[in-house]
């Protein structure tokens, strides 16, 4: 049984000098060396990192784990986590230089039994101020030095500091789960299953791990943003073209495995707006009866026309009656997002080729989205289908009564009618043709192909 309070897992590959910087800083921590242990994971470096580790064997309680051939970051980190015997694990990337009080700061946060995860910060320093930051004149925020200081802030700032994000951190903390500096209770990390080893290259393996951690938290356990637990990003060049390719590939893997709106891609939404979309949809689905079924819309179905298995997507907030020609794997229900067998999409990304479908039928989902995402949903529906169809129903109005603060622009017009009319006008203003139909229960807007 380890007497240490926390293990510091450092993942490194090839960079001997960088590892030396990190280990030296760990010897300078402002708490006793008997309170933490270091685990260095060498992810298949061409020249093993053991000589660097051996140099610190008398200064740190340190363990060296060698992986002979490079593996995914997730698999390498899991190797380190499996070696942890301490109650908590602090995960550091090999390009993260810890502040001299980092370990203590994380331990102070984790001293609260309700905190399961402490998200530390990381500044983007230049080489010249990597170890000896120069004090800046904060009275003049327009100076070159002051502007540089702003550019060196943690990349999650200011989004993570927004009051709406902090108030909803139990939902969206995983979105900021950057593994370069993060402390987790060991039992929680292992209960969540560790990092996803199938995600290769750069991006999302940490957020996905954070998402699964969120799902195993219970009894009031939380994630906490701990900017005082600081570190510095050791400067190095990045291959953004390759990184973007890795990110896109990993996002598509998560899209396929989760089939959930949490991992739908977006091309233009800001991180804050994307967080708001996710939080809004979760809040909405929790407020609705899980077993509620949207009534059949026979007149709308007849207007849409016959659908054949495999030629149409149906997107609903809940389960939808009718539309029997649409295959189960193409019937999306947001309230079922925890069931991986049921698609639960907003429609902002489809992993299909252009013109795969005849119809994408969006039943009220678009009405729950920020307008920015409605534009994305329309663009994706136009890409993958011949006819994007947006339906607004009276049943949805009844379901969300009391959830929304705005009564609408014209109280004399039913909300579902007003929303559909507004969308149709926006489509025409956009230069596209559309046609509509209205029943007592719903209004449908069908966007027509150019030249149709």
Residue whose pair of structure tokens reads 């729950």 in the numeric block = 368
- Clarify whether residues 321 and 392 are in a common domain: yes
Answer yes or no: is 266 within a domain: no
pLDDT (tens digit per residue) in 126-175: 666 666 655 555 567 788 878 877 888 899 999 999 999 999 999 999 99
What per-residue confidence (pLDDT) applies to 376? 95
What per-residue confidence (pLDDT) applies to 406? 67
User: Mind giving me the DSSP string for 124-163?
Assistant: ---GGGSSSPPP--TT-TTSHHHHHHHHTS-TTTTGGGSH
What per-residue confidence (pLDDT) applies to 291? 82
- Clarify whether residues 328 and 192 are in a common domain: no
Name which of 93, 108, 95, 62 is nearest 229 in CA terms. Answer: 108
For the CA atoms of 269, 240, 67, 50, the dihedral, rounded to the nearest 10 degrees, stands at -120
What per-residue confidence (pLDDT) applies to 207? 97
- Clarify whether residues 285 and 191 are in a common domain: no
- Clarify whether residues 17 and 61 are in a common domain: yes
Q: Give just the sign of the alpha carbon dihedral 111, 187, 180, 53.
A: positive
Name which of 447, 445, 429 is nearest 437 in CA terms. Answer: 445
End-to-end CA distance of the chain: 73
Answer yes or no: is 452 within a domain: no
CATH number at residue 132: 3.90.550.10
- Clarify whether residues 284 and 238 are in a common domain: no
User: How many CA atoms are closer than 13 Å to the CA of 219, on its beta-carbon side?
Assistant: 5
Band (429; pLDDT cuts 50, 70, 90): very high
Residue 364, both tokens = 């009220």
Report the alpha-carbon distance of residue 318 to residue 334 in Å, rounded.
6
Answer yes or no: is 298 within a domain: yes
Report the alpha-carbon distance of residue 406 to residue 222 in Å, rounded.
32
What per-residue confidence (pLDDT) applies to 1? 44
Specify the pairing of strand 96-98 against strand 36-43: unpaired
- The pLDDT > 70 percentage for the chain reads 95
Report the alpha-carbon distance of residue 364 to residue 295 in Å, rounded.
13
Q: Please say which residue of 203, 222, 257 terminates a domain.
A: 257
- Clarify whether residues 149 and 296 are in a common domain: no
More confident: 255 or 410? 255
Residue whose pair of structure tokens reads 């990993």 in the numeric block = 250
Residue 204 phi, psi dihedral angles, 5° rounding: 80, -15
Answer yes or no: is 404 within a domain: yes
CATH number at residue 285: 3.40.50
Residue 160: domain span: 6-257
Q: Which residues contact 395 (CB under 8 A, 6 or more apart)?
A: 294, 295, 441
Answer yes or no: is 248 within a domain: yes
Residue 368, both tokens = 């729950």
pLDDT (tens digit per residue) in 278-315: 999 999 999 988 888 899 999 999 999 988 888 999 99
- Clarify whether residues 17 and 57 are in a common domain: yes
- Clarify whether residues 249 and 332 are in a common domain: no
Answer yes or no: is 267 within a domain: no
- Clarify whether residues 12 and 82 are in a common domain: yes
- Burial code of 180-208, b = ≥16 C-beta within 10 A, e = fewer? bbbbbbbebbbbbebbbbebbebbbbbbb
Q: Give just the sign of the alpha carbon dihedral 189, 190, 196, 200.
A: positive
Q: How far is CA 435 from CA 14, 168, 304, in A?
A: 61, 40, 11
Q: Which residues contact 103 (CB under 8 A, 6 or more apart)?
A: 6, 8, 26, 29, 31, 35, 36, 90
Q: Please say which residue of 257, 286, 319 terminates a domain.
A: 257
- Clarify whether residues 307 and 441 are in a common domain: yes
Residue 221 phi, psi dihedral angles, 5° rounding: -65, 145
| Angle value at C-alpha 266, between 271 and 92, nearest 5 degrees | 50
- Clarify whether residues 229 and 354 are in a common domain: no
Residue 393 phi, psi dihedral angles, 5° rounding: -120, 150
Helix (H) or strand (E) holding 211: helix 205-216
Provide the angle, in degrees to the nearest 10, between the axes of the packed helices 73-82 and 205-216.
50
pLDDT (tens digit per residue) in 173-232: 999 999 999 999 999 999 999 999 999 999 899 999 999 999 999 999 999 999 999 999
Q: Which residues contact 404 (CB under 8 A, 6 or more apart)?
A: none
Answer yes or no: is 157 within a domain: yes
Q: Please say which residue of 227, 257, 287 terminates a domain.
A: 257
What per-residue confidence (pLDDT) applies to 408? 65
Answer yes or no: is 219 within a domain: yes
User: Mind giving me the DSSP string for 88-132?
Assistant: EEEEEETTEEE-TTHHHHHHHHHTSTTEEEEEE--B---GGGSSS
- Clarify whether residues 237 and 369 are in a common domain: no
Q: In total, how many domains does the chain have?
A: 2
């Amino acid at each position: 049984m380890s007497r240490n309070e926390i293990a510091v897992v450092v993942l490194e590959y090839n960079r001997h000098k960088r590892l030396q910087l990190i280990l030296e800083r760990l010897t300078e921590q402002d708490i006793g060396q008997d309170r933490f242990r270091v685990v260095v994971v060498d992810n298949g470096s061409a020249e093993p990192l053991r000589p660097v580790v051996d140099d610190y064997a008398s200064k740190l309680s340190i363990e060296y784990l060698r992986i002979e051939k490079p593996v995914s970051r997730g698999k390498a980190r899991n190797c380190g986590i499996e070696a942890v015997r301490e109650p908590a694990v602090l995960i550091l990337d090999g390009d993260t230089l810890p502040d001299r009080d980092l370990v203590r700061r994380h331990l102070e946060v984790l001293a609260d039994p309700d905190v399961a995860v402490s998200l530390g910060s990381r500044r983007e320093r230049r080489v010249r101020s990597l170890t000896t930051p120069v004090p800046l004149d904060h009275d003049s925020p327009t100076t070159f030095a002051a502007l540089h200081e702003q550019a060196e802030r943690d990349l999650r700032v200011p989004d993570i500091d927004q009051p709406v994000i902090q108030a909803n951190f139990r939902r969206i903390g995983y979105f900021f789960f950057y593994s370069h500096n993060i402390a987790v209770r060991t039992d929680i990390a292992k209960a969540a299953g560790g990092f996803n080893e199938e995600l290769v290259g750069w991006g999302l393996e940490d957020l996905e791990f954070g998402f699964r951690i969120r799902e195993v938290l219970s009894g009031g356990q939380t994630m906490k943003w701990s900017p005082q637990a600081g570190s510095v990003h050791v400067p190095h060049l990045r291959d953004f073209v390759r990184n973007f390719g890795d990110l896109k590939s990993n996002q598509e893997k998560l899209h396929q495995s989760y089939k959930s709106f949490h991992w739908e891609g977006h091309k233009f939404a800001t991180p804050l707006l994307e967080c708001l979309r996710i939080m809004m949809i979760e809040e909405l689905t929790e407020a609705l009866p899980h077993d509620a079924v949207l009534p059949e819309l026979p007149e709308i179905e007849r207007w849409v026309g016959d659908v054949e298995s495999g030629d149409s997507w149906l997107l609903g907030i809940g389960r939808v009656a009718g539309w029997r020609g649409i295959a189960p794997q193409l019937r999306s229900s947001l309230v079922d997002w925890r069931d991986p067998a049921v698609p639960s999409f907003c429609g902002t990304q489809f992993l299909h080729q252009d013109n795969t479908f005849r119809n994408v039928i969006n039943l009220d989902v678009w009405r729950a989205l920020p307008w920015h995402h409605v534009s994305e949903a329309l663009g994706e529906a136009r890409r993958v289908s011949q006819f994007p169809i947006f339906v607004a129903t009276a049943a949805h109005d009844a379901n969300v009564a009391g959830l929304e603060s705005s009564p609408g622009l014209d109280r004399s017009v039913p909300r579902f009618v007003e929303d559909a009319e507004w969308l149709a006008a926006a489509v025409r203003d956009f230069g596209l043709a559309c046609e509509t139909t209205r029943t007592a229960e719903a209004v449908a807007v069908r966007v027509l192909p150019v030249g149709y």
